[in-house]
Amino acid sequence: MNTVDAKIIHRRKKISLNQWILTIVLFLGSFVMIVPFLWMLVTSFDWAARLHINFPPRLWPEEPSVKTFEAAFTSIKMFRYITNSIMVSAGVIIISALSALLSGYALSKLRFKGANIVLLLALSTMMIPFEMTMIPQYLLFSKLGLVDNYLAFYLPALNYAFGTFLAKAFFDQLPTTLREAAILDGAKEVSVFSRVYLPLCTPIIATMIILLFLGVWNDMLWPLLILKKATKYTIQIGLAMFTYNNGIDKQPSIIMAATTVSLIPVVVVYMFLQRYIIESIALSGIKQ
């Protein structure tokens, strides 16, 4: 009895020392992860760094000012790009989520002929890299005259096979008896879906919105191909084009101010939904 207690106490002490070492190591690691963000913030508020990086690096701006942000909004059309990005993201999220929920419902609850084939087809196309299909897709949209048109984002959004898969798995967990009862009561299929099942789907809808938002907001390759007019640019391509044309490492504080602004939406979403985002990503295991 006594020896066991002694062992446990001994162990506790040892663990707490380990815990201290662990915590310190992890804090050092987090510091390395955070430093780039701190540097970005300090530089973005430093009017003195509008032409050259400060040397030596500073912990506080040499000339603290928001003029850098004013400059970012005037020389880069940030306001317009952000509005555009919101329009693109909102449309893609609504269309993709709706397509995924409808098809997930059909595949899970309606058990129609050929459902297996539809599911298999959708899942196997998930493996096709976008880089592979981007050229024909670009040609398709340019032939349809949809270059610089956000339909080039909205239409491909119909193909959200991963969301279908998530939604189907979610609907599989919901009882089929709900549908049977509603149908017996004379409800139409559409209202079974929208009135009975959809209200139960909030968790999966939230997951899809988060994953889609992060994917669309941060995407650059498709906007690079399909958006030619600067007035149509989304935030990523607008920022990229500005630096691509002016030199990537020029005007530090103005570019950092613009970058900071471009990060605000994702970081705000991340701060509020952080645990939720981490959970959905750990669960989904797929980033895009």
Partner 1 sequence: MSLNANMKTDTFPETSNKRKKRFTRNDWMGYLFSAPLIIGVLAFAIYPMIAALIMSFHQTSGLSVGGKWVGFSNYNYVVHDSLFWQALTNTFFIGIWSVLLGIILSFVLASLINNLNWSTGKNFFKAVFFLPNVVSGVATTLLFSFLFFPSKEGLLNFVIGLFGIDPVGWFTNPQVSRYSIVLMSLWGALGYNTIIFLAGLQSVPRDLYEAAEVDGAGTYRKWFYITIPYLRPIFVFMLIMGTIGAMKRFTDVWLIGGTAGNPGGSLMTVVLYIYRNAFLASQMGMATAASYLLFIIIFILTAFLMLLNRRKDSFD
Could you say whether residue 145 binds partner 1 (CB under 8 A)? no
Q: Which is nearer to partner 1, 86 or 98 (CB)?
A: 98
Candidates 43, 84, 89, 207: give the one binding partner 1 (CB under 8 A). Answer: 43
Could you say whether residue 144 binds partner 1 (CB under 8 A)? no
Give the residue from 89, 90, 265, 94 showing the smallest Cα distance to 163.
94
Segment near partner 1 (CB under 8 A), from 15-23, 66-74, 86-94, 194-202?
15-23
What are the two backbone dihedrals, phi and then psi, of residue 160, each rounded to the nearest 5 degrees? -125, 70
Give the residue from 125, 92, 99, 97 showing the smallest Cα distance to 219.
92
Site string for partner 1, 114-143 (x = CB under 8 A): xxx-xxxxxx-xxxxxxxxxxxxxxxx-xx
| Least spacing, CB of residue 244 vs partner 1, in Å | 7
Site for partner 1 in 181-240 (CB under 8 A): 189, 193, 214, 217-221, 225, 236, 239-240
Number of residues that bind partner 1 (CB under 8 A): 109
Segment near partner 1 (CB under 8 A), from 1-9, 72-80, 109-117, 199-207?
109-117
Contact 230, 77 (CB under 8 A): yes
At 228, the amino acid letter reads K
Could you say whether residue 111 binds partner 1 (CB under 8 A)? yes
Contact 100, 208 (CB under 8 A): yes
Could you say whether residue 60 binds partner 1 (CB under 8 A)? no
Measured in whole angstroms, how far is the alpha carbon of residue 171 from the centre of its chain?
23
Q: How far is CA 133 from CA 86, 95, 156, 263, in A?
A: 25, 20, 11, 29
